[in-house]
Amino acid sequence: MTGYGKAEAIINNVKYTVEIRSLNAKSADITLKTSLIPREKEMEVRQLIASRLNRGTIDLYITTEKSVAGATSSTLNKDIFNAYLNQVDEALKGTKWSAAASGEYSAALLGSVVRMPDVFETTKEDLSGDNWAPLFGAISTAVDMLDNFRTTEGASLRKDVLGNLESIESFIPMVEKFEAERVTAVRERIDARMAELALQVDKNRLEQEIIFYIDKLDINEEKVRLRQHCRYFRETLEGEEFPGKKLGFIAQEMGREINTLGSKANHAEIQKIVVKMKAELEKIKEQSMNIL
């Protein structure tokens, strides 16, 4: 959901630059960081952004600058200008640079004063009438650019997520290779322990208990469900327009099955594979935050 878009519009010899940026978020959090949009037009802009971008922490900026030589929209504020001069006079009294003593101001000093904040007032353009259409067009273009940016990023993101998913799926057959070995190892440990304790037991009853114990360690259901979740994840990613939230939920279910595999594993090699599965799943969860 990250992205950036930029567009420009020239209105009455003034260039308006529109920039829009987006970061990850579960909902659409739109902030208009400009005072140039008329209040009565703010809802229209918000609706445009929400409908096109769906989700994300979205910030819209608009800045202005003169676009044509000789275009003027600024006037000198004499009160502020004189206030700055008076402050300079007060600060320089008793020094060799005192403007008050000489009665003259140098060109450098005047040049510095006119660059002080608010000395020149910029006349705000009325953007509520015919001037609104070109600015709104620039906003729309910037939103389109951000959306295109997301689309390009999404293609790469999709490839990465599917790669992580395929890795998890490839680990399941690796788990299966150790299942028979695991059952044998469990039996051998129990037999060795019984021999160590020199206990006389009912072999039929012992066999029943071993079968019950091994059955509790069975991971077939977890493997089946994990495969189903992987398949559902792929179908959702490829088939839905805005799958982001659903993919997050599916990833949670995948995590439950992987955790259960680990708790039932009772085998060092299977535990290593489970750790690898978790690493791939964490990548999927992180990337799913970027998917709409």
| C-beta separation of 267 from 178 below 8 A | yes
- CA–CA distance from 74 to each of 62, 121, 125, 266 (Å)? 18, 5, 11, 78
Query: Could you list the pLDDT tens digit for every one of the 292 residues in the chain?
Result: 688 999 999 988 888 999 999 988 778 899 999 888 999 999 999 999 999 888 889 999 999 886 544 444 567 888 888 888 888 777 777 666 565 445 556 677 777 787 787 776 665 566 777 889 999 999 999 999 999 988 888 888 888 999 999 999 999 999 988 887 777 777 777 767 777 777 677 677 766 666 666 667 788 899 999 999 999 999 999 888 778 888 989 999 999 999 999 988 878 899 999 999 999 999 999 888 777 6
Query: What's the sign of the alpha-carbon dihedral 234, 239, 244, 247?
Result: negative
Tokens coding 199: 């206990």
SS3 37: coil
For the chain, what are the domain ranges? 3-70+130-148, 74-122, 152-288
Residue listed under structure tokens 């295109």 = 148
Q: What is the pTM assigned to this prediction? A: 0.60
Q: According to DSSP H, which parts of the chain are helical?
A: 39-53, 78-92, 99-102, 107-114, 132-177, 179-197, 203-216, 220-239, 244-265, 268-288
| C-beta separation of 55 from 244 below 8 A | yes
Tokens coding 40: 């009565």
Backbone φ, ψ for residue 56 (5° rounding): 130, 160
Tokens coding 252: 């949670």
Nearest to 46 by CA among 128, 149, 148, 143: 143
Q: How far apart are CA 206 and CA 183, in angstroms?
A: 15
Tokens coding 229: 């979740």
Beta bridge partners of 22: 3, 58
Q: How far apart are CA 130 and CA 145, in angstroms?
A: 24
Q: Class assignment of domain 3-70+130-148?
A: alpha beta
| C-beta separation of 44 from 58 below 8 A | no
